[in-house]
Amino acid sequence: MPRDGTDDGGSSTSVASREDECSAPDKHAGGEKLFREMGRSVGIEDETLNNVIQSVSGETWRKRRAGLHLFLDNMNSKKLHIVDILHGRSDIILAKALT
> Could you read off the pLDDT tens digit of each residue along the chain, which spans 99 residues?
555 555 555 554 443 323 333 345 788 999 999 999 999 999 999 999 999 999 999 999 999 999 999 999 999 999 999 988 888 877 777 766 665
pTM of the full predicted structure?
0.64
Alpha carbon 67 to its chain's center: 9
Alpha-carbon distance 43 to 40, whole Å? 5
Alpha-helix residue ranges (DSSP H) falling in the chain: 18-21, 29-41, 46-55, 58-77, 82-87
Burial class (CB in 10 A: 0-12, 13-18, 19+), 69: buried
